[in-house]
């Protein structure tokens, strides 16, 4: 049964646990092991964190657990955790994940540690801060966030700060070990997108990518490993980051730009297309194919047809519809008036008889 949150006071919603935090004293609170969550989870705009397993893992520890189901929310949306500031290991998530910002296949946001975990068999859809594994890696307070030896197999629909593995990799954050992404990336609005990369969308100063990360992407536009501006962005990614990008253009999205970013002004691309058309027309004229000019010359020399003379009525009708004559100097002359059709009347004279 789907779990729905419609209460404004609720800030964290999860398929198994809404908020997981450590217990006090010597207890074992905040530790979850070997648990599973099934079913869809939906939160309204008032929910800060929503996850298929836990809404917010606030310093707790979760191991060998799984979540299976679709997750829908606004911000901080993840297939396993909406947000994680604790430790998650050896866990999995599957199902579609849909939100606005901070959307990830496994976790919407991570400011803790995630180790040897996976996301697969689903579609991740969001606007910004979207990642196949984690949407935003690194908290706003600058707390270090770490992802170790994890993977994502996802189909991603996004617009900005979007990456196959991580959307936004914050400063002091670390991606370490054999992390990988295998899937597709579709830029939903290419003219207004930015910071889209095959592995990381935006890699902020101070962030680290260690180990042997890799990607295998099919995308709607040509992508560099790291998109946008930041550490290792553009055509100079870290040498240890390797992968392939197969481009299959979106038929309805125009021609996107290179390096994970697209022209922000559609008119710029339209102007380029006009320049190309002008060059093509000039080449055609050079080759003697200027059919338009030849037609104009013929029109200037053309004369209206002569009116038919078969009958007076025909003469009137033809002269009435004759177009103005256009001479070589493009001077418009009115057609001559129609010929007179008056039929002369023969007067009959009667000879008077001579007077007797």
The CATH number that applies at residue 161 is 2.160.20
Closest to 112 in 3D by CA, of 184, 155, 32, 56: 56
Neighbouring C-alpha atoms within 13 Å toward the C-beta of 182: 10
Question: Within the chain, what is the greatest distance between any pair of CA atoms?
Answer: 166
Would you state the structure tokens that stand for residue 27, as one six-digit string? 């207890």
Other Cβ atoms less than 10 A from the Cβ of 19: the count is 17
| Total domains present in the chain | 1
Please give the pLDDT value at position 268: 29
pTM over 0.85: no
Residue 251 covered by a domain: yes
φ/ψ of 192, rounded to 5, equals -120, 20
| Domain annotation covers residue 160 | yes
The CA angle 154-157-160, to the nearest 5 degrees, is 115
Phi, psi angles (nearest 5°) of residue 67: -135, 135
In this prediction, residue 193 carries a pLDDT of 84
Residue 84 lies in a domain: yes
Q: What is the pLDDT along the chain (356 residues), one digit of tens a residue?
A: 455 444 444 589 999 999 998 765 544 568 999 999 999 999 877 788 999 999 999 999 999 999 999 999 999 999 999 999 999 999 999 999 999 999 999 999 999 999 999 999 899 999 999 999 999 999 655 667 999 999 999 999 999 999 999 999 998 899 999 999 999 999 998 888 889 999 999 988 888 899 999 999 999 888 899 986 544 555 567 888 999 989 987 644 433 333 333 333 333 233 333 333 333 333 333 333 333 344 445 544 555 455 444 444 444 444 444 454 444 444 444 555 555 555 554 544 455 555 55
**350 within domain boundaries:** no
DSSP 345: P
Domain membership flag for residue 216:
yes
In a domain, 332, yes or no: no
Comparing CA positions, the residue from 12, 145, 221 lying closest to residue 133 is: 145
Give the residue numbers spanning the domain of 45.
3-264
In a domain, 289, yes or no: no
- Return the pLDDT at 351: 52
Residue 205 lies in a domain: yes
């Amino acid at each position: 049964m789907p779990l729905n949150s419609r209460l404004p006071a609720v800030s964290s919603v999860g398929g198994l646990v809404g908020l997981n935090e450590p217990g006090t004293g010597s207890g074992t609170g905040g530790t979850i092991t070997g648990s599973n969550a099934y079913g869809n989870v939906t939160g309204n705009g008032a929910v800060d964190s929503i996850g298929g397993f836990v809404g917010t893992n606030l310093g707790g520890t979760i191991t060998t657990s799984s979540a299976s189901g679709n997750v829908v929310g606004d911000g901080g949306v993840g297939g396993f955790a909406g947000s994680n500031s604790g430790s998650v290991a050896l866990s999995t998530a599957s199902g579609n994940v849909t939100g606005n910002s901070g959307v990830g296949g496994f976790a919407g946001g991570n400011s803790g540690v995630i180790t040897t975990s996976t996301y697969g068999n689903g579609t991740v859809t969001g606007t910004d801060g979207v990642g196949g594994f984690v949407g935003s890696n690194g908290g706003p307070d600058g707390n270090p966030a770490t992802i170790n030896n994890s993977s994502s197999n996802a189909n991603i629909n996004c617009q900005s700060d979007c990456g196959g593995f991580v959307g936004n990799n914050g400063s002091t954050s670390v991606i370490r070990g054999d992390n990988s992404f295998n899937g597709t990336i579709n830029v939903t609005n290419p003219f207004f997108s930015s910071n889209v990369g095959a592995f990381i969308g935006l890699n902020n100063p101070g962030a680290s990518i260690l180990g042997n990360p890799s990607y295998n992407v099919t995308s709607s536009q040509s992508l560099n490993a790291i998109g946008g501006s930041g550490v290792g962005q553009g055509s100079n990614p870290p040498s240890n980051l390797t992968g392939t990008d197969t481009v299959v253009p979106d038929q309805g999205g125009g021609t996107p730009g290179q390096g994970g970013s697209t022209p922000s002004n559609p008119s710029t691309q339209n102007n380029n297309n006009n320049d190309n058309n002008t060059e093509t027309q000039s080449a055609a004229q050079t080759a003697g194919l200027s059919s338009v000019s030849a037609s104009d010359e013929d029109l200037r020399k053309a004369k209206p047809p002569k009116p038919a003379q078969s009958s007076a009525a025909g003469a009137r009708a033809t002269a009435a519809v004759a177009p103005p004559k256009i001479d070589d100097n493009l001077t418009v002359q009115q057609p001559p008036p129609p010929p007179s059709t008056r039929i002369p009347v023969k007067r009959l004279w009667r000879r008077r008889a001579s007077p007797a």
